[in-house]
Structure formats: structure tokens, C-alpha cells
Amino acid sequence: MRKLLSGLTLAAATLAPAVALAHAGHGEHTGFIHGFMHPVTGLDHILAMVTVGILAYQIGGRALWAVPATFLAIMAAGGALGVAGVSFYFVEPGIAASVVVLGLIVALALKPPVALAMALVAVFAVFHGYAHGIEAPLDESAAAFGAGFLAATTLLHAFGVALGMLIGRIAASQGQIGYRLAGSAVAVAGLVILGRAVI
């Protein structure tokens, strides 16, 4: 656990200077900030990415790094599809469904096999990545934009793992109520988002 926390702290410390030094008005920096802000200004993205971290902690073991890493890798691929202008359907419902499904898994305190969890988050990551990719600028700062949304997602996953740890401590003394409440809140929010996406 200490190694995990050290790793997350190192990741945050590594990413923080890049954010601090990114000033508007400089192509790559503007792209990075724009990309960084894209996931953190959408509730659907925030909920899904934080919940991926909670789920990774809930499963434990190698899922702690494998599940978030899978999400990041496939999200990058989805982003590339968006930048390339590839047609992709049901993006908003797919994003909303990710919030609902991930919330339910956490609420039910399920611990799917790591490979299954990786496959599940991979499916959802395509939708999130594509949504980011179609917002990327069509110039040389597209790569910086991608780096920005990957950095923000990494931090959201790390926050989710930390939150999962806190909920886990509550679960140790109070049973699964923490996971149930957190997951249920995410799932309900996801249903509202899904309702808006399909109307």
C-alpha cells in the first residue's frame, strides 16, 4: 500500500509542474491546458474516472495499476479515433452507461477478475477518449491536448484510488455501507446523465 501511495504521489508531483508551467498563449501549452480541463469540467467524465480508481482499489492486487492503465491506454486510442474523424456512434450514451455500470459494480461491492475489469473499462474508455479526441485542436497542439486529458485522467484515477482506500477503511468497521452509498450515488447520477443523453 505504501508503494502505491508513493507512486500516486510521484505521479501527481510529476504532473503538477507541467500544469503550473502551461500558460495560455503558447500553442502546446494552450493545448495541454485545454486537454487537461476537458475531463475535469464534465461530471460524466469525473464520475467515471474516479470510479475506475475506486473499483481498482476495491478489487486490489494488480488491478490497482492494471485497471487504470488499461483505461488510459484505450482512452488514448479512442482519442486518436476522434482526432482522425472516424465515425463513432452512441458516444454520449456510452459515457453515461459507463457511469451507471461502474457505480453499480462499486455499490454491489463486486470484485470481478482483473482481466474482466480491464476489458470492461476498456470498452468504456473508447467512448471517453473519442469524446476528448473530437474536441482536440486541428493543429500541432493536438498532441499537447492529448497529453493534457491523459494527465487529468491519471489524477482522477489516483483520486479514485485514494477515495477507495478511505471507503475501504470505513468498510472495515462499518461493513460495505461506504461502497454502497458511493456506488449508488454514482449510478443514480449516471442514470440522470443517460436520460439526458438519450432524450
Q: Which sequence spans correspond to the domains of the chain?
A: 2-198
Asked if pLDDT for residue 14 goes beyond 70, the answer is: no
DSSP state of 140: T
User: Span 54-64, mean pLDDT?
Assistant: 95
pLDDT band at 140 (very low <50, low <70, confident <90, very high): low
**DSSP helix/strand/coil, 41:** coil
Distance CA 147, CA 128 (A): 14
170, 164 contact by CB (below 8 A): no
Which of residues 7 and 172 earns the better pLDDT score? 172
What's the chain's Rg over C-alpha atoms?
16
Residue of 190, 157, 56 whose CA lies nearest to 112: 56
Question: Residue 48 corresponds to which cell in the numbers above?
Answer: 467515471
Distance CA 159, CA 12 (A): 10
DSSP state of 199: -
Helix (H) or strand (E) holding 43: helix 43-59
Note the Cα 134 to chain centre separation in Å.
17
> Lowest mean pLDDT: which of 29-43, 45-59, 71-85, 95-109?
29-43
Query: Which residue bears the cell 443523453?
Result: 197
103, 183 contact by CB (below 8 A): yes
pLDDT, averaged across the chain: 84
Q: What is the pLDDT of residue 56?
A: 97
Contacts of 145 (CB under 8 A, 6+ apart): 31, 32, 34, 35, 38, 132, 135, 136, 137
Highest averaged pLDDT of the listed ranges 5-14, 28-37, 40-49:
40-49
